[in-house]
Amino acid sequence: MGGGSAVNGMALSAVDTDDVERFGWDDVARHEDAVRRRWGSATVEAGPLTAALLELDGGAGAVGPPTIEPGPDGWRPVSLALAAGRRRSSYDAFVAVDTERAGRISARSGAVVARVEPGPRPSVVLGSGEIVVASFVLVAGGAVGSPDLLVDSGVIDPALVAAPLDHPSAVVVVELAPGARVEGRPGAPSSHLFLADDHQRLVLDHTCAEADAGPDADGRRFGAVIVSSRSTDPQPLAAACAQVIGRLGSCDAVVGAAVDPDASPVRHSCATLRTVVDRHGGLPGIEGVAVIDGSALVGLPTVNPMFTIAVAARRSAMHHLRR
């Protein structure tokens, strides 16, 4: 396991129905339900910047119960992969549970994998030289790690690794009026998401990190609206950012807002093995090994991909393990 399931905004967006059809997933509902139960989610209270944007757009300001159900376009609370005040990764949700409660998985952290060797009895060779023989190997190293491992192992030709698909993004940095600066919280996770046909806007009530948590920290002065395309097309970004800035111009909570010319905050790299794998992450002609992470998606999801990747991983893993 690798990848970046905990190194992001923690946003658990439900699998989009258009993606289900596009990816050819006719059996996804039960996997969504299972992942939802295992992962869990939470919502956080909307801060002043979010509340101002909700009011300007006529959205509902109240945060309902945690949910990752799809809803209509417009504002909705963001479900976060958060439990007991900390980020909840895919390891927490899936591997750790079975390791601690049922002893069904023997987990190792920091075990570097040097290569995988496919076959009727596939094996994993660790950096230490130890060889772990398996019945089947599920590779989940992320959109970069999995292709690198398979190439280094001689399993696939490097020419078959595709460029990653990603959501182009921009960030509107918002300077907050003194009365709108969030105090008493070491960090403000995104709390609300505006979903439009061609883009989404994720609101951060301030940009202060835990290390800068003092009331005078510069991060308390600033919030942000992360605008990202729902496809690989960057065209919607300029109009969407201009709309955000225009709305904030009449907001008492805001001193000023501008697009950061250098920032591209979203990293949703996916589908680097889209020309290699089958619809369940299998490698045609290769026995005993399958890929179950974001690299094995056949396209870029139209929403934040973390939950979609987890659902796809469970779907593929169950397919191979049942065989």
Q: Model confidence over 17-35: pLDDT tens digits?
A: 899 999 988 888 889 888 8
More confident residue, 185 or 280: 280
Q: For residue 62, is pLDDT > 50?
A: no
The tokens for 315 are: 């779907």
Whether 186 has a pLDDT exceeding 60, the answer reads no
Does residue 102 carry a pLDDT above 70?
Answer: no
Query: What contacts 267, CB < 8 A, 6 or more positions away?
Result: 4, 8, 166
Kindly state the tokens that stand for 231.
Answer: 């496809």
4 confidence band (pLDDT: 50, 70, 90): low
Q: Reduced to 3 states, what is the DSSP secondary structure of residue 240? A: helix
Amino acid at 143: A
Hey, what are 262's tokens? 């250098």
Question: For residue 104, what pLDDT is reported?
Answer: 67
Contact present, 147 and 291 (Cβ < 8 Å)? no
- pLDDT value of residue 176: 87
Residue 103: which pLDDT band, with cuts at 50, 70 and 90? low
Among 33-42, 185-194, 223-232, name the most confident range.
Answer: 223-232
Percent of the chain at pLDDT > 70 equals 82
Rg for the chain (alpha carbons), in Å? 21
Q: Provide the pLDDT for residue 3.
A: 54
DSSP for 170-234, written as a single string? EEEEEEEPGGG---S-S-----EEEE-SSEEEEEES----GGG-STT-GGGGEEEEEEEESSS--
CA distance linking residue 147 with residue 138, whole number of Å: 13
> Which uninterrupted H or E stretch holds 317?
helix 306-322
Least confident of 137-141, 190-194, 295-299: 190-194
User: Across the chain, what does the average pLDDT equal?
Assistant: 83
pLDDT of res. 229 = 95
**pLDDT (0 to 100) of residue 63:** 47
Q: Model confidence at 261, in pLDDT bands (50, 70, 90)?
A: confident
Amino acid residing at 51:
A
Tens digits of residue pLDDT in 232-252 = 999 999 999 999 999 898 888
Least confident window among 115-124, 133-142, 156-165: 133-142
pLDDT at position 211, please? 44
Position 210 confidence tier, pLDDT thresholds 50, 70, 90: very low
The listed range with the strongest mean pLDDT (11-25, 53-67, 180-194) is 11-25
pLDDT at 298 over 90: yes
Residue 209 has pLDDT above 70, yes or no: no
